[in-house]
Chains A and B, each alone.
Chain A
Amino acid sequence: MINKLVVENLKHRPVRTLLSTIAIGVQVTMVLTLVGLSRGMLEDQARRSRGVGADILVRPPGSSIIGLSGNMTEKLVPFLRKQPHVALATGVLIEPTGMFSSVTGVDFQDFSKMTGGFRFIAGHGFEKPDDVIVDEYYAKQNKVHAGDYVTIKNKRWHVAGIFEQGKLARIILPIDVLQNLTGNTGKVTSVYLKLDNPANTQSVIQELRSRLQDYQIYSIDEFVSQFSVNNVPMLREFIYVVIGLGIIVGFLVVFLSMYTAVLERTREIGVLKAIGASSGFILNVLLRETAVLAVMGSVLGIILTYGTRWMIMTFAPGTLIQAIVPDWWPIAAAIAIGGALLGAAYPGMKAARQDAIEALAYE
């Protein structure tokens, strides 16, 4: 019976119920989209790093393992190529072009050998000095076709080819062109090594570490495992801030909604008390209503994350990747329900303490 009362109360004010549900849903979507973007972009970066096909990665001394900071001399590439068990070595130069985007310079032949070759969806590899190749996501986001021109680093480039995504970068230039363009002649950001046998990875890393002290030398598995929210400076804190904002939004929305509901139902509360309802019963009804709103909002919020993912994949696949994060569904729902119940606490207490005689006289 109490559940029927709760449902009928929610049905009685459909606009308020709908708006409260949407507000809670947006809060849940906000949290899930942020977490999904963080994870999606890190997973995408990890996937593309694996797509290089290397076994070992070498980064300059003092550099951040997953950042782009620091370059080193490209003379290291032939040195590394000569090391025992190293079958292939290729250096890449990565230059940021925006907050979430970069352009990568590669030695096309060596990089192709290591990755197993680019699969071009349209066009071909580099032929002219102003050629650039881009991946399918970049092309989709920027509506670029083979043969078009794009501006990167303040220079117009001819899009020679569009390749299947998953090969480290979205925009690729010949490494010497990018080095000259950015004043990094003779520099590389990372060197990738492919071994004659992946089973030798740890022994080669040990050997290299002894010979190249202070350099960051990792197996690709170790490197990829670093792509987590915890290893990106401030990202975890940023997520916490957004969650905090979510709780505040949920609290305020439900507070206002339930406060209005209690005022509006003053007389009904008086009637319930007159027929013997305890303060606990009144509080219980309001908290159940809130919980239902929060659960409906959570479900809506989860569904909306598929919408935000579709929008991101449609309009910005080359910049942002959003993962669907089912493991965060209960967390986001708990945040929403917690915030909502907190918001309902004061109106609920106000209702529970309502004087029955005054409530019955309320017009």
Chain B
Amino acid sequence: MNNGGPIVSVRGLKKTYRVGEVDVNALRGVDLDIARGEFVSIIGPSGSGKSTLFNVLGGLTPPSAGQVFIEGRNLRDLTEGERTQLRKTTVGFVFQKYNLLPTLTARDNIEIARYIAGRTGEDDTQFAETLRLLGIEKRLHHKPRALSGGEQQRVAIARGIVNRPAILLADEPTGNLDTENSNAVLALLRDLNQRLNQTILMITHNPEAAAYGHRIITMRDGRVESST
């Protein structure tokens, strides 16, 4: 563990995709440090590399070049199985389209993340606390189709943090929500950050949403343009 230094440290990160016969340089040398407990907003135009950065940080795809350290572990050295393990224990995801499993209830959507991480036998107080923080206790027995967008996103956030990941990656979490629900979700993320010291990286197109973070990183053309 790397308790003193940044929880995420990225140096010279490059990611090249092969699309047909064309190489697409999605990331062209990203340098970035995220401190433990920081709430960082990442903004930038489409194609600037925000989502690719998330995919690399989340272990969904390996970097093409450069170094990516999360809690001191270099993602470059991880095997497929180790990256799967990283997603179980170290990284939580929240998506724009919620991405809840439609066949399961809200409770089971959260529970399955614990099951996959092998934590179902553990103390339930953490699970209960997560539900209490998100204020969705009364909607747990409903399936996603019976929940509003805001409720679905709260369930998705609960799923993202239930295993107490080192970082929560939120990819446009308010992109599908109206203003009222957007504000509620952003307030919730800030609350989680403050109460649980949860490190959060949030992609957004919305400057008002970005302002909820401690810091705003702007990306352009696969590089970090500014950090304010």
Contact = CB atoms under 8 A, between A and B. Distances in A.
A292 to B, nearest CB: 14
Nearest to B108: A4
Given A1-B108, A4-B108, A5-B103, A277 B116 contact: yes
B11 to A, nearest CB: 23
Nearest to A356: B60
Contact of B113 (A8, A273, A275, A356): A275
Interface of A: 1-2, 4-5, 8-9, 11-12, 267-268, 270-278, 281, 356-357, 360
Given A1-B108, A274-B95, 13 more contacts: A1-B111, A1-B120, A5-B104, A5-B108, A8-B103, A272-B112, A273-B60, A273-B84, A275-B88, A276-B85, A276-B87, A357-B61, A360-B95
Interface residues of B, number: 27
B20 interface: no
Nearest to A271: B99
Interface of B: 55, 58, 60-61, 81, 84-85, 87-89, 93, 95, 99-104, 108, 111-113, 115-117, 120, 159
Contact of B103 (A9, A270, A274, A360): A9
Contacts of A273: 60, 84, 87
Contacts of A357: 55, 60-61
B103 A1 contact: no
A1 B119 CA distance: 12
Contacts of B58: 274
Nearest to A267: B99
13 contacts: A1-B111, A2-B115, A5-B103, A5-B108, A268-B101, A270-B99, A271-B99, A275-B87, A275-B112, A276-B85, A276-B89, A277-B116, A357-B60
Contacts of A356: 60
B87 A274 contact: yes
Contact of B115 (A1, A8, A270, A278): A1
A274 B101 contact: no
Contacts of A8: 103-104, 108
A271 B98 CA distance: 10
Contact of B88 (A9, A12, A276): A276
Looking at A267, A270, A276, A360, which has the most chain B CB atoms within 10 Å of its CB?
A: A276
